Amino acid sequence: MDFSRTILFSPHNFPVGSCVAFCYVKREGKVLKSWHYALIVFLGGCCYGVLSTFVKLAYSANFSTSQVTGGQFFFGAVLIWIFFLFTKKKKLTFQQILKIVIAGIPFGLTGIFYYQSLLRLEASLAIIFLFQFVWIGTLFEWFFYKKRPTKEKLVSIIILLIGSALAANIVSQEGTIPSWEGILWGLLASLSFTTSIFVSGSIEKDTPPVQKSALMSTGSLIVVFTLYPPTFLFDFSVLSGVAPYGLLLGLFGVALPPLLFSIGMPHIGPGLGTILVASELPVAVTLSSFILLEQVSWIQWIGVVLILGGIIRGNIGLGHRKKKSVDHENVTNQKVGQ
């Protein structure tokens, strides 16, 4: 365990600077292509994929759920606010600030719901119920944006769900009846996660991504501290012990995902976005194998390949669809002008 911790906490293993720098190719008049936005959202999903490894290490160090969750959102908010000090700012009204802060609540609820599900279910089952955001996002897009899912998207979702079942290794689980409470918490986590993805691309689109992410992290922190009072902040021994885990969990679970989703989601949409965020599970499986040294079966690796294939399948022709949508909008505007 000490060896794994040394590997994890080595700064050379986290190219965060290059990730953030990539996101800001958009600055100074440069415009990203459609696949660039898709890649940014994909990276946001990858960030969530590393969380389970850090959480397992934190639990093995005897930290409680409230300490791990509170540390994650506290240090994540601190990190993104520090980053905000050195980036572009926009003057916002109180109503705009309040709207963005409220939009951050689903991010906080996702962590709370998912950790509650993990307390009652095997990790492989809990992540399957969380993974339902893949099709819930398409329903959101259909209901709110009136965009019917294409055949390609439906095929991609089916591939992703099959791949997730294999990657989570549920085929080898014994025939025990899972806790209905665990199932409910897992589905709530999936719903709140889909909501967080949805609001990232629809709330205050003109707000600078870092500023928006900082405000959303504040909303997440408020709801987490409301449900989990931050008593660990007043115990230096606990705070210093949970800090390394909180910093990593905060970076990959609180600071980066809202930032990446705020940049990419307005150009991708929640339907395709939730397909891209499916990158979470392959990353989780890969890290559990190479860092935690957990045994991963060949069936799980097949599931990982299927998930990646489903993501690729869902993104085939992205640029063409984007161009076609823009052309249709231009034609509509011309007709209105006439």
Q: What is the chain's mean pLDDT, rounded? A: 79
pLDDT at 174: 58
The number of angstroms, rounded, from the C-alpha of 139 to the middle of its chain's C-alpha atoms is 18
Q: Count of domains in the chain?
A: 1
Query: Is there a domain that residue 337 lies in?
Result: no
Give the pLDDT band (50/70/90) at residue 316: low
pLDDT at 221: 95
CA distance 16 to 312: 24
User: pTM, whole model, 2 decimals?
Assistant: 0.77
pLDDT at 52 over 70: yes
Query: Is there a domain that residue 326 lies in?
Result: yes
Query: Is there a domain that residue 15 lies in?
Result: yes
Give the pLDDT band (50/70/90) at residue 1: very low
The per-residue pLDDT for range 159-199, each reduced to its tens digit, is 888 888 888 776 665 556 667 888 899 899 999 988 988 88
Residue 122 CB partners (closer than 8 Å, separation 6+): 173, 178
The per-residue pLDDT for range 101-127, each reduced to its tens digit, is 999 999 999 988 987 887 787 666 777
pLDDT at 327: 43
Residue 162 CB partners (closer than 8 Å, separation 6+): 303, 306
Query: Is there a domain that residue 19 lies in?
Result: yes
Instruction: Write out the two tokens for 210.
Output: 């870092």
More confident residue, 51 or 123: 51
pLDDT at 75: 96
pLDDT at 310 over 60: yes
Query: Is there a domain that residue 338 lies in?
Result: no
CA distance 264 to 271: 13
Of 78-82, 101-105, 114-118, 238-242, least confident by mean pLDDT is 114-118
Whole domain around residue 265: which residue ranges?
Answer: 2-332
pLDDT at 180: 84
Query: Is there a domain that residue 218 lies in?
Result: yes
